[in-house]
Chains A and B, each alone.
Chain A
């Protein structure tokens, strides 16, 4: 690992039930296995009931705050379109956005009281031109397990972090049930192979 004081900030956001906590757990363990000091925070409780969920992961030589400062997220990894925009103030001007193309309708939208905003992905791209849009559900379906989308995103994310791929593989093997390891490793590598949202 590098000796500099640089702290990496990854903000993972989405909707309760999408596997955000597992993804951030794996990332935290990966950073720790790479020798970094790690802090990670997430919201539990009421937020789990289909509410907006965020998990902050920070690592470097020494990390104090478990929360990322506004404007300091190096990567905003979002599992849902409008959640990306909700947490945009956290994104650094030099930061990258990885967004799942999923739309999960909030109560005001599925009851017809409000519309789901139009042009969300365009707005994200406008503000963060290097944004990668991932067809998470479609890719996971192709891999034969709709629940591995979060590990696909982790694979995409790995391209932005200076941590050897073997460490991700090791942590995934340790964290997952034996019968799920294979499909998740494939999911991770499919994600890692994605550049600009297209399969390489």
Chain B
């Protein structure tokens, strides 16, 4: 019987069915669950979190050089980190099949940009497949591994939020092992990319791409759905589903391989219809490819370059109008509901201490990025994973005294191991006067609590090493490394003050487990209480932004009442972290007796 699987479950299942022996990844929305499912469900596959995507790809490369089938998974921006091995892996080729799953995030539901991974396939001269539902997500893992082995190339499988996180019915199959013999196979002309060898490999890459281009003409997932000849629609991925929804009776060409493009197939489809339209999300990638063939086509003049498509947008693009049968929007201003740090979040405590010091903060990617939002408003930069430390170093070196004692870099523990160690080394080496706050919450929190090399556990929860940041910073040459419990806000504030006043780079590790982490819990789970009569309504607690606190306005003040309102604790949400207690100057916050 068919099962209801998400796209990411389909990919994980595909890895199992098509004989993948090793899988590696770093968590990143919308790709995270792929490795989690492999870890939970398929013990046949050696699987583990890598510190970052570059390492994940290199580990997978090693496995496939040995003859094994391998899978690596990441979000779109992860491929930027892995771009170095990726570009030259195209030259060496593989041995066992290698599929690089890269999940794009059109509309940036949980990302800092919406780059289009198909450009990387063209850049690296490797094929790119794009599934449109969970069945294809599974089946295309098989196709990708077959192409990888047949043409000696890594293959990109481009996912997207609306495929990864959509569920659809999927037929399951049995596991079939890869056919390559495993072993240490010496082949320096192919695997050692010295200039002399690389010069010989580049022509191979170009010739390989031509052979794959021919293969695309008969690739089973490039498919024509004949229909009304007045309009022919070319699409791929979830855009195909929207196009089918909007115009089920039109002629459709669905591309399962989006790079290289099947020129003969496209030409013959174009000739069979009166009007040719490409429906694609983000860049005009297919459209430009078709234009280069000298074929007239409409594309991005109908759909936006920015954001994701939807059934409505595609209907409008294709028919010029939308048939709206709804009740319409409501004429009422609704307060926004952005994501927020959880009640008891240790990051809130650290940001509260930083706020008291009025510092300029360079951060990066993680739950702590939410520190940018009001009422905390404590993040001045977020560029990419690990960037905060480098930015703070650059700022402090150029600005000298202007920034001295005022700049801080914040970085989470998982991000630190991902790409924070090298900028920390740079800071020690070149000596910018800034303070690095490593917010160690003992997990990769934003993506849903994955282990990393600092937690002491592997993907499958087996015990392993726990890398020591304190010793690392000392080994890098930092003379000032301090560890503090951030829930002690006043003490944390004092330590930050001391380090800011010191004219040399320093590291503060604020260490407390994520409030959602079940394995390491230090929170008392005893809600606090505010004595209404003692509360002065100063909002010091409210300005920490904790969802367990509420400012209750006094609508009809009694005589002599100076307060505009008072704070109240929602005891069903409060976990007793005491951050509000630390900032209350009036002793209004108390433990429940």
Residues of chain A whose beta carbon lies under 8 Å from any beta carbon of chain B: 15-16, 25, 28-29, 32, 37-52, 63-73, 82-83, 85-86, 88-95, 105-114, 116-117, 120, 123, 127-128
With beta carbons under 8 angstroms apart, the residue of B110, B165, B311, B551 that contacts A46 is B110
Q: Which residue of B lies closest to A31 (CB)?
A: B4
Q: Does B586 contact A (CB under 8 A)?
A: no
Q: Does B501 contact A (CB under 8 A)?
A: no
Known: A48-B448, A52-B337, A70-B322. A65 touches B167 (CB 8 A): no
With both chains docked as a complex, state the minimum distance between the C-beta of B151 and any C-beta of chain A, in angstroms: 32
* Contact residues in B for A37 (Cβ distance below 8 Å): 168-169
Residues of chain B whose beta carbon lies under 8 Å from any beta carbon of chain A: 2, 4, 29-30, 109-110, 133, 162, 165-169, 238, 241-242, 244-245, 248, 310-312, 315, 322, 324-330, 332-342, 367, 370, 373-375, 446-448, 539, 542-543, 545, 547, 549-551, 553, 565
With both chains docked as a complex, state the minimum distance between the C-beta of B534 and any C-beta of chain A, in angstroms: 18
Q: Which residue of B lies closest to A119 (CB)?
A: B332
With both chains docked as a complex, state the minimum distance between the C-beta of B522 and any C-beta of chain A, in angstroms: 21
* Contact residues in A for B545 (Cβ distance below 8 Å): 107, 111
Contact A46 B244 (CB under 8 A): no
Q: Which residue of B lies closest to A76 (CB)?
A: B327
* A24 CA to B315 CA, complexed, in Å: 26
Contact B169 A67 (CB under 8 A): no
Contact B324 A71 (CB under 8 A): yes
Q: A37-B168, A49-B367, A107-B338 are in contact. List 14 more A-B contacts (CB 8 A).
A: A44-B165, A49-B339, A49-B341, A51-B338, A65-B245, A66-B162, A66-B167, A71-B324, A85-B334, A86-B334, A88-B326, A92-B325, A94-B325, A95-B327
With both chains docked as a complex, state the minimum distance between the C-beta of A153 and any C-beta of chain B, in angstroms: 19
Contact B326 A16 (CB under 8 A): no
Contact A69 B109 (CB under 8 A): no
Contact B335 A116 (CB under 8 A): yes
Contact A66 B543 (CB under 8 A): no
Known: A32-B4, A52-B337, A123-B332. A44 touches B110 (CB 8 A): yes
* Contact residues in A for B324 (Cβ distance below 8 Å): 70-71
Contact B30 A82 (CB under 8 A): no
With both chains docked as a complex, state the minimum distance between the C-beta of A19 and any C-beta of chain B, in angstroms: 15
* A97 CA to B43 CA, complexed, in Å: 45
Contact A110 B367 (CB under 8 A): no
Between A and B, 21 residue pairs with Cβ closer than 8 Å are: A32-B169, A37-B169, A39-B168, A40-B4, A40-B168, A41-B162, A45-B30, A45-B110, A45-B446, A49-B339, A51-B337, A64-B244, A65-B242, A66-B167, A70-B326, A88-B329, A106-B337, A111-B542, A112-B565, A113-B375, A120-B332
With both chains docked as a complex, state the minimum distance between the C-beta of A103 and any C-beta of chain B, in angstroms: 11
* Contact residues in A for B110 (Cβ distance below 8 Å): 44-47
Contact B166 A40 (CB under 8 A): yes
Q: Which residue of B lies closest to A57 (CB)?
A: B167
With beta carbons under 8 angstroms apart, the residue of A29, A40, A69 that contacts B311 is A69
Q: Which residue of A lies closest to B552 (CB)?
A: A112
Q: Which residue of B lies closest to A95 (CB)?
A: B327
* Contact residues in B for A51 (Cβ distance below 8 Å): 337-340
Contact B165 A29 (CB under 8 A): no
Contact B29 A45 (CB under 8 A): yes
Known: A45-B29, A69-B311, A70-B322. A83 touches B337 (CB 8 A): yes
* Contact residues in A for B338 (Cβ distance below 8 Å): 51, 106-107
For B30, B335, B375, B551, the residue with the greatest tally of chain A CB atoms inside 10 Å of its CB is B335
* A86 CA to B336 CA, complexed, in Å: 9
* A93 CA to B333 CA, complexed, in Å: 22
For A64, A89, A95, the residue with the greatest tally of chain B CB atoms inside 10 Å of its CB is A64
With both chains docked as a complex, state the minimum distance between the C-beta of B572 and any C-beta of chain A, in angstroms: 9
Nearest first, the 6 closest Cβ-Cβ pairs linking A and B are A71-B326, A45-B110, A112-B551, A45-B29, A49-B339, A66-B166
* Contact residues in A for B335 (Cβ distance below 8 Å): 82, 106, 108-109, 114, 116-117
* A38 CA to B3 CA, complexed, in Å: 10
* Contact residues in B for A82 (Cβ distance below 8 Å): 334-335, 337
With both chains docked as a complex, state the minimum distance between the C-beta of A174 and any C-beta of chain B, in angstroms: 12
Q: Which residue of B lies closest to A40 (CB)?
A: B167
* A172 CA to B325 CA, complexed, in Å: 34
* Contact residues in B for A108 (Cβ distance below 8 Å): 335-336, 374
Known: A71-B326, A92-B325. A65 touches B447 (CB 8 A): no
* A107 CA to B374 CA, complexed, in Å: 8
Known: A39-B167, A107-B375, A108-B335. A88 touches B327 (CB 8 A): yes
Q: Which residue of A lies closest to B243 (CB)?
A: A64
* A53 CA to B257 CA, complexed, in Å: 32
Known: A112-B551, A117-B332. A66 touches B168 (CB 8 A): yes
* A120 CA to B547 CA, complexed, in Å: 21
Known: A71-B326, A91-B326, A107-B545. A49 touches B244 (CB 8 A): no
For B244, B315, B338, the residue with the greatest tally of chain A CB atoms inside 10 Å of its CB is B338
With both chains docked as a complex, state the minimum distance between the C-beta of B116 and any C-beta of chain A, in angstroms: 19
* Contact residues in B for A43 (Cβ distance below 8 Å): 109, 165
* A110 CA to B302 CA, complexed, in Å: 42
With both chains docked as a complex, state the minimum distance between the C-beta of A150 and any C-beta of chain B, in angstroms: 17
* A43 CA to B167 CA, complexed, in Å: 12
With both chains docked as a complex, state the minimum distance between the C-beta of B168 and any C-beta of chain A, in angstroms: 5
* Contact residues in B for A88 (Cβ distance below 8 Å): 326-330
For A39, A41, A72, the residue with the greatest tally of chain B CB atoms inside 10 Å of its CB is A41
* Contact residues in A for B375 (Cβ distance below 8 Å): 107, 111, 113
* Contact residues in A for B542 (Cβ distance below 8 Å): 110-112
Contact B551 A28 (CB under 8 A): no
For A39, A68, A94, A120, the residue with the greatest tally of chain B CB atoms inside 10 Å of its CB is A39
Contact B337 A15 (CB under 8 A): yes
Contact A107 B543 (CB under 8 A): no
Contact B334 A128 (CB under 8 A): no
* Contact residues in A for B334 (Cβ distance below 8 Å): 82, 85-86, 117
Q: Which residue of A lies closest to B166 (CB)?
A: A66
Contact B29 A89 (CB under 8 A): no
Q: Which residue of A lies closest to B338 (CB)?
A: A51
Contact A66 B326 (CB under 8 A): no
* Contact residues in A for B162 (Cβ distance below 8 Å): 41, 66-67
Contact A127 B330 (CB under 8 A): yes
Known: A44-B30, A107-B374. A72 touches B551 (CB 8 A): no
Contact A32 B332 (CB under 8 A): no
* A32 CA to B330 CA, complexed, in Å: 34
Contact A112 B326 (CB under 8 A): no
Q: Which residue of A lies closest to B310 (CB)?
A: A67
For B330, B333, B374, B545, the residue with the greatest tally of chain A CB atoms inside 10 Å of its CB is B330
With both chains docked as a complex, state the minimum distance between the C-beta of B525 and any C-beta of chain A, in angstroms: 16
Contact A41 B165 (CB under 8 A): yes
Contact A111 B543 (CB under 8 A): yes
